[in-house]
Chain A
Amino acid sequence: MNDALLEADGLVVRHGQLVALREVSLRVQPGEVYAVVGANGAGKSTLLRTLAGLHPTTGRIRFDGQDVTRESAHARVRRGMVMVPEGRRLFRSLTVEENILIGAVSGRGGRWDLDAVFDLFAWMRERRHERVNHLSGGEQQQVAICRALIANPRLLLLDEISLGLAPVIVQQIYQMLPQLLDEDIAILLVEQDVAQALRVATRFQCLLEGRTTLEGSPADFSAVDVEAAYFGFATEDAAP
């Protein structure tokens, strides 16, 4: 199991008195789409933000065999752990092109450059000099994805990329994911829309109140199992 790209063991994260993550562990292999699902407040986003280096944690995070638990967020980007944050978080006073170029700051070379990301979305090239706050939500999400891609990630962390977007846009964005996997990028995504997440995921885990309640391949579990783990009435149901 040493070929895992990302290994997280026993992550515990506290927000003041509140324990947001309790002993969460996961492994992501290269080329895998790993989904983390769960209800609001289950700790999904905290997990992703912790992996990206935004929350201190006890436990251990290894990326490509190296311990990165104490590394800053920007150092992790340089290693190839790149996040598309919840709410897109574009730089509003910068243009489309400038926002994307900012993503290249880590200096990781590779397949993705400005031309390559412009080829992904047809509208982007001609509107590259527009400010991002003139864009629709879906377009902003696409810019955020391009901003992450241009860093040539080895692991792409996607935090609730469907939030606030029209279903058709969400579908477009999810249809793009297989293209990325050709390049051997692993994807770790957090999603409230369980059906959407499980359609694309090769492995997943379900979080409930900061604990892992289910982990495995989507094919191994029925919708009822997932629902039970999601809402947390599994134990009551199972008890005779």
Chain B
Amino acid sequence: MNWVNAIIQGLLLGGLFALFACGLSLLFGVLGIINLAHGDLAVLGAYVAVALLPSVHTNALWALLFVPPMFAVFGYVSQRSLLRRSMESGPLTTLLVTFGLSVVLENALLEGFSADSHSLSVGSLVTKAFRPSSAISVSYLRLGILVVAVVVLVIVQFFLARTGTGRQIRALADDGEAASIVGINTRHVAGIAAAVAFATVAIAGLADGMYAQFGPTSGGSLLLFGFEAVIIGGLGSLWGTLAGGCVLGLAQTIGAQIDPTIGVLCAHLVFLFILAVKPSGLMPATVEA
């Protein structure tokens, strides 16, 4: 039964990874940006909640209402200003700019909130669990995060596949110049794509903050897991990202079941193995209608 529990916990953890990887996948797939600041942005989202929650409500779930929209605006503005400018001077510049952003964010958070770790309180929800048997415990919080991850992926997928703006985003991802030739305001549409990506990273940051403790320097490991989920799933495929997240989550919990100290190592080894045998990922596909 411990193994069943490990598998369930792995899938639940996978939801968090997938949520985290979604924005990374979107920014890379549509705009070709490898966002090294992604992890720090997620952490920033959690800190925004830490800073603003006391004046709103004691339960961190309320932060889901205001942090993602704030990040959407932040994403749109960043794309129209900083990221677009860097993209015009080439992919290496963009990489350096997001790396710089990562360093700036991390140090600004250290300055503003000290190196102490924080967590987001969700009240009694954090301890409540569904127990179908004595060995299996499904935390409602973790289950909720997986559900949120699936819902976010479904919404993003629907947005890209079925809406006019989503169609413009896919056209932009295919051929930017042709997109402007047919009358798409490419800067605006790129801004919208970045807004969606940033909103999802804020949700991921909040989920992570409710799930575990975080500090100003937690972004790096989050980024690593995000990248691994994207690459395992196949670049640009949102469902692949969910699968990638679950594979990572499973590797981590099953590894920890064998020996509690090797869980994270197992996840990285599975990633390396998949990168070696199937570098295009499990579901290599661009976003489709």
Contact B183 A77 (CB under 8 A): yes
Q: Which residues of B approach A to under 8 Å, CB–CB?
A: 164, 167-168, 170-171, 173-175, 177-186, 286-289
- 13 A–B contacts from the bound complex (CB under 8 Å): A54-B177, A89-B177, A91-B179, A92-B174, A93-B170, A93-B287, A93-B288, A94-B171, A94-B174, A102-B167, A102-B168, A102-B179, A105-B183
Contact A91 B180 (CB under 8 A): no
Give chain B residues whose Cβ lies under 8 Å from the Cβ of A102.
Answer: 167-168, 171, 179, 182, 184
Residue in chain B with minimal CB distance to A76: B183
Give chain B residues whose Cβ lies under 8 Å from the Cβ of A78.
Answer: 183
Q: How far is the CA of A91 from the CA of B184 in the complex (A)?
A: 13
Give chain A residues whose Cβ lies under 8 Å from the Cβ of B183.
Answer: 73-74, 77-78, 82, 103, 105-106, 151
Contact A93 B167 (CB under 8 A): no
Contact A147 B289 (CB under 8 A): no
A 81-133 contacts with B by CB, 8 A? 82-83, 85, 89-95, 98, 101-103, 105-106
Interface size class of chain A, counting residues whose CB lies under 8 Å from the partner chain: 20 to 34
A 37-84 contacts with B by CB, 8 A? 52-54, 72-74, 77-78, 82-83
Q: Closest CB-CB distance, B157 to chain A, in whole Å?
A: 14
Across the interface, B181 reaches (CB within 8 A) one of A89, A93, A94, A95, namely A89
Residue in chain B with minimal CB distance to A72: B180
Contact B289 A105 (CB under 8 A): no
Contact A74 B170 (CB under 8 A): no
Q: A74-B185, A78-B183, A91-B179 are in contact. List 13 more A-B contacts (CB 8 A).
A: A54-B177, A54-B180, A74-B180, A77-B182, A89-B177, A89-B181, A93-B173, A93-B288, A94-B170, A101-B164, A102-B184, A103-B182, A105-B182
Q: Closest CB-CB distance, A155 to chain B, in whole Å?
A: 13
Contact B167 A94 (CB under 8 A): yes
Q: Closest CB-CB distance, B91 to chain A, in whole Å?
A: 21
Q: How far is the CA of A91 from the CA of B178 in the complex (A)?
A: 8
Contact B181 A105 (CB under 8 A): no
Give chain A residues whose Cβ lies under 8 Å from the Cβ of B287.
Answer: 93
Q: Closest CB-CB distance, A174 to chain B, in whole Å?
A: 22
